[in-house]
Amino acid sequence: MSTIGRPFPQDFLFGAATAAYQIEGAAHEDGRRDSIWDVFCREPGAVIGGDNGDVACDHYHRYRDDVALMKRLGLQTYRFSVSWSRVRPDGGALNPAGLDFYKRLVDELREADILPWLTLYHWDLPQALQDRGGWTARSTADLFTEYALDMHDALGDRVPVWTTLNEPWCASFLSYTGGEHAPGHHSIEEGLIASHHLLLGHGQTVRELRARDASLDLGITLNHTVADPADPQNPADVDAARRVDGQFNRWFLDPIHRASYPADIVEDIRKVDAAAVASFEAAVHDGDLAVIAQPIDTQGVNYYHGDLLSGTAPEHPPVSGAPATTRPGRSPYPSDAGIHAVERGLPRTSQNWEVQPEGLTRLLRRVHDEYTGEKGVRLFVTENGAAYDDVVTDGAVHDADRVEYVRAHLGAVLDAVDAGVDVRGYFYWSLLDNFEWAWGYAKRFGIVRVDYDTQERTPKDSALEYARIIAERRLDDVSTAGAR
């Protein structure tokens, strides 16, 4: 649909998001010790270019300038994550020097009148805990809760919004089954058990933080796809879409909001690996699902693109959007046979990810209608962004594709709001170009360019346009129409 002069709701928050390992650097300063990503980056072929987060954007030393930049752009809120390896190195005793960094960062944000939005876990598990089983060990959920309470001791009086986990699908199936992310394992059993212990850690943390302070805004951030069958009349295509939706979306939405794992997906996986499902079921103790389903206030929705799926391999499969690393991998979906992506002719980013803004509208409506709406859980788009091959021209970056991406997806959010969905804010991913996990520094998501040699920051045209939208609180002349 075409839109002109559309205002945002009065209480709608505009922000940007980052993650600790991707921007902080200072990997071995002030007592920080290895996370699983420090170790994974040393594995040959795991990360494009052999890149790592040792320096990244040097945010650890430049955070004051970065907060000043946020203020100039008009950001109302900043979503950042805490490095577990910095504040409790090796998962052990509290490290005051590491904790002080986050105290200073939060103070700087508050001084700039920017709402601090804290994410406790964005994938950087201390390596010492991985050596003891990582998220496949139930004890990790307990240690995560202890770490969360330490952070609340330090920042609970200054940080009102707490997100437990970022994208547990990535931290479990992409990491323990697919092997694309740290720790790089290829086990269906490990992925299943890790997913449960991540959610258990989430539920325990929400319960304990709620008991301490009922005024806190508590939630979780999930990444989602919109899974469409290539031919809605073809049972095989419909089934492929069902299984992707179930393994990507419902596997986490159902336990959080319904205290159950999706039974159809459990049985799909049992047909592939009955022993893995038996181990998973043994890991789910009595009472666990009630803990996981603790009431939350806020649901973060991360969206980049959807998927068009078929039960038959297409003659011309689409270009892969996965990083071209040389380390062996496998599908992150435990039940992946007969699932094939189909090309649909949508624009693509430099990462080969489709640009599908209308999918965000459908996703927000679906999550609201089926899970969060009746409970009064507020939705925020906590990540949405695109990598493009930016070019510096006379000191400026004219990233027209990203400008259009931001405008189109903000239009999609407003379409959801118009449909009655309780969406309260939008965070662009990412504030800065950064270390993009297995892609290394090969892809740039930021609305602010980072020269990795000089660490100079340059707001791109997308940053200037985002700042204008924030200042005017209005979106003009945007089309969110797109093929499915």
Q: Is the dihedral of CA 301, 336, 344, 325 positive or negative?
A: positive
Instruction: At 10, list the tokens.
Output: 């009065």
* Sheet strands (E) in 71-185: 77-81, 115-121, 161-166
Which residues are catalytic, by number? Answer: 167, 383
What 3-state DSSP class applies to 227? strand
Q: What is the DSSP string of 250-278?
A: IHHHHHHHHSS--HHHHHHHHHH-HHHHH
User: CA–CA separation, 90 vs 383, rounded Å?
Assistant: 28
- Distance, C-alpha 395 to centroid of its chain: 31
According to DSSP, the residues that pair with 14 across neighbouring strands are: 426
What 3-state DSSP class applies to 10? coil
What 3-state DSSP class applies to 230? coil
- CA distance to 6, 82, 358, per residue, from 477 (Å): 9, 38, 16
User: CA–CA separation, 384 vs 83, rounded Å?
Assistant: 22
Q: Is the dihedral of CA 462, 464, 467, 471 positive or negative?
A: negative
Instruction: Please check whether residue 347 is in contact with residue 353, taking contact to mean a CB–CB distance below 8 angstroms.
Output: no
User: CA–CA separation, 206 vs 404, rounded Å?
Assistant: 37
